[in-house]
Amino acid sequence: MRSVSNFRSLGILAGVLGLAVTSAVPTAQALDRLEFRVSGGNDEVERAIKGASALIATRAEEDEEAQDLFGAARAEYGRLVTALYGLGYYSPVVSVLVDGREAAAIPPLDAPETIRKIEVLVQVGPPFRFGVARVAPLAPETDLPDGFRTGERARSGLVQDSVRAAAEGWRGVGHAKVDIGSETVVADHARRTLDADIRMAPGPRLRFGDLRIQGQTRMSERRIRKIASLPSGQQYDPEELEDSAERLRRTGVFRSVSLTEDEAVTPPDLLGITATLVDELPRHYSFGVEISSSEGATVSGEWIHRNFLGGGERLTVGGEVDNLGAANSGVDYRLGVTLDRPATPVADTTLSFGIEIERLDEEDYLADTTSLTTSLSRVFSDRLTGSVGIGYAYSDVEDENGAYIYEYVSLPTSLIWNTRDDDLDATKGYFVSAGATPFLGFDDTGSGGQLTLDSRAFFGFGAEERPFVLAGRAQAGAVFGSDLLETPRDYLFYSGGGGTVRGQPYQSLGVRPDPENPDYKIGGTRFAALSAELRAPITERIGVVAFADAGYVTAEDIDSDRDEWHAGAGLGVRYDTGFGPIRVDVAGPIGGDTGDGVQIYVGIGQAF
């Protein structure tokens, strides 16, 4: 016996019938018992059946009614057969009894008003294997799924995945209108095989045509085309199309961006693209708060104007007040203004200008700093970004040894590699940020360079939806070329506090350059810190964290054996808000002599 199998018709028919019943039958009393009996299956089969069951899904709803259950019972046949096809079973027998009557035999307009018992009986039948497994022709370097070959279990999803892979292969080499030329899918019940023979119709190789724009109201079309940078006239490539859409999304100007291909080809071989854009609100406000028992509170706010000059420019005015109520330092203030212009000078590159005024009232020094920066940032891929800039800074510093003026020009560069699945609450992936900043000092300010590294790794295990997570972080930094006291203070390194070693007071670890004044402390020119966390879920929204941190600070030609390292450890609680976890950490010192007592940290997002 041979039959041609249609993978979609049963499910569609069942859904239509279920919809008709729902609209025709009045509300009535619902079900007492739902039973499943599966013959010839295994654990995988039973999981698939219950996962596909419309009856189980309907029963889980708060207000189940007889009309809904009857519609689900009629839809059950198609859903369960489709699920079993997905596992390679092509001769199942499904019976759904509603109070002893076959659901498929009950006319939709004669549906019962009361349902007491539903029985679902499934005879799974034997598994089928592929006889013929062929999708052709294929574009160069197209890989089909490993299981799609003669003799392997004939899971229906493998046929669909193979066709999808073949289509993507042809689209990747310019054949945007690839289609299925013919398909023969035959289940041979006598031999228990499935023959799948799919012929692809690649169509002509196409080039990108014009980009048409609709829906936008505030940004000029010239700038939209410059930012999207669709390579009109070049060979069609779906990755280029997605890159163009992502460039428009990154501006933040649009609430939604959709780039769609024309149905028809413009002779001889051009495929037009339409960009459908919906504007975002032009202005955006945000604020944040973090609290630490020793560092006090940090309050920050930001005002953003999207599309400031009509070309996708972003104007950002941000301010921050640190150390409100801090135990050992005064209040710090920062105010900055930046203007970012995308696609300048080319696509994936943003030109930025910024000015910042800052006052730092730290335990060891008081500094008033003004800085100007110009930078170019580049998106190399969805994982790799980089930037290079030039800056000027003037800083007036006072400490217990006197007053200093630091005036210098810098050339900051950085690369960031980010594969995390979620920046605020990662469960897998890596983050590496590396920076190099040469600086040229004027008058008494030294010249040299600063190197920094911040690397993080995340490994999730256990349940897929709420895994345990092992997280690690390593930080390092060094200053070369300039003497310690001639180095701008913002290039020196401290350890202690929420960003380095929890459980130790903020910036409590530095170096002591004056043997005759052991209480005089400044930042060091060498720095390293390590952090480790185990994050464990407790409920759907609540989790706990155990962590340990350690930090090291020193300087060349400085004997700081008394105070080179310290460590802290503690426990924390996380509450998932949907946009990022609220963090509460409690920690204490476990090494070094820079602090004692318990420190508490509260903020949004994981510690790293």
User: What pLDDT digit, counting tens, does each position of 539-584 carry?
Assistant: 989 999 999 999 999 998 776 555 689 999 999 999 998 888 999 9
pLDDT score, position 18: 31
**Residues 413-466: tens digit of each pLDDT:** 999 999 999 998 999 999 999 999 999 999 999 999 999 999 999 999 988 878
DSSP assignment of 563-604 equals GSEEEEEEEEEEEE-SSSEEEEEEEEEEESSS--S-EEEEEE
CB 458 within 8 A of CB 426: yes
For the chain, give the mean pLDDT.
90
pLDDT at 445 (0 to 100): 95
The residues facing 393 across adjacent strands are: 371, 408
pLDDT value at 328 more than 80: no
How many Cα atoms are found within 13 Å in the side-chain-facing hemisphere of 383? 8
pLDDT in the model for residue 118: 95
The confidence score (pLDDT) of residue 8 equals 30
Least confident of 103-112, 204-213, 531-540: 103-112
Of 18-22, 336-340, 353-357, 420-424, where does mean pLDDT reach its minimum? 18-22
Confidence band of 216 (pLDDT split at 50, 70, 90): confident
Q: How confident is the model at residue 22 (pLDDT cuts 50, 70, 90)?
A: very low
Section 374-396 average pLDDT: 97
Give tens-digit pLDDT for 149-194: 999 999 999 999 999 999 999 999 999 999 999 999 999 999 999 9
Q: How far apart are CA 344 and CA 1, in angstroms?
A: 67
| Lateral strand order in the sheet of 207-214 | 207-214, 270-279, 254-261
Q: What percent of the chain has pLDDT over 90?
A: 79
* pLDDT tens-digit readout, 249-307: 999 999 999 999 999 999 999 999 999 999 999 999 998 888 887 778 899 999 999 99
d(CA 591, CA 161): 55
Torsion angle defined by CA atoms of residues 238, 241, 242 and 247, in that order, rounded to the nearest 10 degrees:
160
412: CB partners within 8 A, 6+ apart: 373, 375, 387, 388, 389, 391, 435, 436, 437
Q: Note whether 51 and 133 are within 8 A (CB).
A: no
User: Where residue 2 falls among pLDDT bands split at 50, 70, 90?
Assistant: very low
The confidence score (pLDDT) of residue 13 equals: 25
Rounded Cα gap, residues 234 and 240, in angstroms: 10
In terms of Cα–Cα distance, which of 264, 205, 206, 202 is closest to 233? 206
pTM of whole model > 0.95? no
Instruction: Encode pLDDT of 103-117 as tens digits.
Output: 999 998 888 989 999
- C-alpha 499/C-alpha 547 separation (Å) is 13
Looking at the predicted structure, is the pLDDT value of residue 62 above 80? no
Alpha-carbon span 416 to 399, nearest angstrom: 35
